[in-house]
Structure 1
Amino acid sequence: MSACPDHLPSTPDGRYFVHGGRLWRCSNPDLSDDERQRLTGELMDARRAVGAAKRSGDSEAERAARARVHEAKVALGERGPTWWDSDEDYNRHAPKNTPYADWWASLGDAEREAGE
């Protein structure tokens, strides 16, 4: 299992992938495949719990499920402190407005379209 989605453009340093025209943090590549798979399972379970709570109108259950989503994303390295040796984080920024602008501009049209 990869730290970044294979079907979306990812930055040369492996820190981010581009989806919806924004940079999103990849999961920590130092996690074992088993650990990443376990945490991804927890994340998916928590996301399903959010949906179920919303459908039932249970705001307390939704709040608890969203907290579980956040915990799983932090454990994966997608939120919270960066898993690399820098505090700079461009999560949710448009690549053209970051140090990745030249990389983004160098991609072919099909690659950029996949990330938009």
Structure 2
Amino acid sequence: MEADRAPERTPDGHFVVIRGRKWRATDPSIPEETAARLRRHLMSARRAVRSATTAGDAEAERAARARVNRAKIALGERGTPWWDQPADVRRRRWEEGLASLDAEARN
């Protein structure tokens, strides 16, 4: 897959296919600016997992993995499938997730 191409999606749009494996797609109703901020938090948390693992810091690794999970839930990639949630619940999911991640990043 070329870096500038969007990944293949299943016909229902619920999943992306990357190297033959299905992954839950990001909730398409998230405004792009918000989704971009959530992805930045996700990437930062993944880097923190790698650093903590390399350093052998189990507590930092647990905290970083929890941040990864919060970001993925806010993006709709984990937890209750976004297509099974009403619009107001979906909005609350990403707004609360982003607020939580932003607050932690400030500390």
In structure 1, distance between residues paired with 2:36 and 2:7: 19
Q: 1:5-84 counterparts in 2 under 5 A?
A: 6-84=5-83
Shift of 1:57: 0.7
Letter in 2 for 1:15: H
Shift of 1:22: 1.9
The one of the two structures with greater contact order (alpha-carbon pairs below 8 A, sep at least 6) is 1
Deviant stretches of 4+, over 2 Å: 5-8
Q: Work out the number of aligned pairs and report it.
A: 82
CA gap 1:6/1:28 in 2 versus in 1, 3 angstroms? farther
Gaps of 5+ in 2: 86-107
TM-score (norm 2): 0.71
Higher helix share: 2
Moved more, 14-23 or 48-57: 14-23
Shift of 1:33: 0.4
2:82 partner SS: coil
TM-score (norm 1): 0.66
Letter in 1 for 2:75: L
Q: CA deviation digits over 1:8-67, x for unaligned, max 9?
A: 221122110112322101100010001100100000000000011011110100011000
CA gap 1:22/1:43 in 2 versus in 1, 3 angstroms? same
Q: Which of the pair has more CA radius of gyration? A: 1
What CA RMSD, in Å, does the superposition of the two structures yield over aligned residues? Answer: 1.7
- Percent of residue pairs bearing the same amino acid type: 52
